[in-house]
Amino acid sequence: MSNATTSTSRGFTFGMFWEVIRTGIVELWAHKVRSLLTLTLLMLGVFALVVMTSVLDGLMDKISTGFAGMSWDGTVRIAQKTPETGEERKRFAMSPGLRYEDLGRIASQNPKVLAFLPRAQKNVPVRITGDTERIFVSGVTADYAQMMNRPISIGRGLTEDDQRRRSTVAVVGATLASKLFGGADPVGRDLVADGVPFRIVGVQAPGMIFSDENYFDANGILIPLETYIDRMDPAHKLAQVTVKLRNQADMGEISAMLLGRVRQAHHGIEDVEVVDLDAEAAKSYQNFLEQMRGWKVVLLSLAGTVLLVGGVGVLSVMLISFSDRRFEIGLRKALGASDEEIFIQFLLEAVVLAAIGAALGTVSGAILCQALSASFPYGLVINPMGLLTAWLVALVLAVVFGLYPAFRAMRLSPMEAMR
């Protein structure tokens, strides 16, 4: 007897649930415009939450990859210091500034230093295939590309032999190569930069732009430092010297050593500054994280507002459904339906309405994430927490806004409903 009762109860529950789904779909179809607006708002809310949380995750991956690609870990930079007072201007004027000739003293070997990477740079006109563009020409050493994560996609990079021979060869940045040559292979072609002819031997691989040096390299050419000094800058000025350390813990000691070497080279004048690039990158990354937190609050608030308006739409649909079905409610109560069954039916109809909207939003969000996936380094995967949150918010709002119509339906007397 107990098993038969349980089986009957389960059958009734399933039948009621199926009736709720069927009735909900019929109600949606019967009031197409109103239902479309409600479903659209719910769909947009879920869609926004799914896409925004997934895109924010993708951006985090992309930005983190970009910061890692700067290769600023354990790195300091020596650059010319800008005078801030009249006295500093007078004192700095007595120094020739940071020059190629300083490298003999600054870059002398130290067991705690992995590499010294001097860089000279200027913006010059370049002529190729009859057109003239202004580009950045940077003189660097052969180990610059490896140490600063500038991989070569076509051809080869600069070599020590290029430096020794002072060869007029150039490695073109990915952005500049695309601009000047489109999809063609530029290796072996010639260009004239500031009146000096260069043979292109390689093209840098595309990368994300997260620093001035990244931008200059992508939009310019790299040539051997000695060639730059001999052919393009009689003053032998250096823009900076990047120093890669073996151990980040030696940062303070190495910075003090570098300043001391520059003072000796500049006759006691300290006209340069040493910048901890690793600390600068960490500061920039923290600023990025703070901005991301602000954007998360703004975007999630917008998505929540859309879902809230969708919940109001559910309330409207259920109230109209209640008004249209008063006779049906009274008839069902007269035939023995309990208040709890009527209450559960109306509440479930509101949940079904929200679930349909959430399902449409999930599918739309997944399609858009798939379309955007190629733009992110690790693809774009739907954030499970964002998806779960979107569904929970949609269903909770449906329950909250469905309570009032469900209570009204539950408390309606058969005589009043069938009058």
189 φψ region: left (φ > 0), alpha (ψ -120 to 50), beta (else): beta
Cα separation, 58 vs 60, whole angstroms: 5
Give residue 391's identity as a one-letter amino acid code: W
What residues contact 278, with CB distance under 8 A and at least 6 apart?
72, 73, 74, 75, 248, 251
The better pLDDT of the pair 384, 26 is held by: 384
Confidence of residue 382 (pLDDT cuts 50, 70, 90): confident
Confidence of residue 240 (pLDDT cuts 50, 70, 90): very high
pLDDT value at 8 more than 50: no
**What average pLDDT does range 209-224 have in this prediction?**
88
| pLDDT of 404 above 90 | no
DSSP state of 375: G
pLDDT at residue 160 greater than cutoff 90? yes
Task: Tell me which of 104-113, 125-134, 390-399 is least confident.
Answer: 125-134
pLDDT category at 2 given cuts 50, 70, 90 is: very low
pLDDT above 70 covers a percentage of the chain that reads: 87
Mean pLDDT of the chain: 81
What is the pLDDT at residue 346? Answer: 77
Rounded CA-CA distance 376/60 in Å is 10
Q: What pLDDT is stored for residue 318 in this prediction?
A: 76
pLDDT at residue 339 in the model: 76
> Residue 122 carries which DSSP code?
E
Q: What is the rounded average pLDDT of the residues 211-222?
A: 89
Mean per-residue pLDDT for 206-228? 88
Residue 314 pLDDT > 70: yes
User: String of b and e for 195-216 (b: at least 16 CB within 10 Å)?
Assistant: ebebebbbbbeebbbbbebbeb
CA 170, CA 197: separation in Å to the nearest integer? 10
For residue 4, the model assigns a pLDDT of: 47
Is-above-0.75 flag for pTM? no
Q: Is 75 helix (H, G, I), strand (E, B) or coil?
A: strand
Say whether pLDDT at 282 is over 60: yes
- Helix (H) or strand (E) run with residue 171 in it: strand 169-172
Please tell me the distance from the alpha carbon of residue 302 to that of residue 296, in angstroms, as a whole number: 10
**For 24-33, 96-105, 195-204, which range has the lowest pLDDT when averaged over its residues?**
24-33
| pLDDT at site 277 | 81
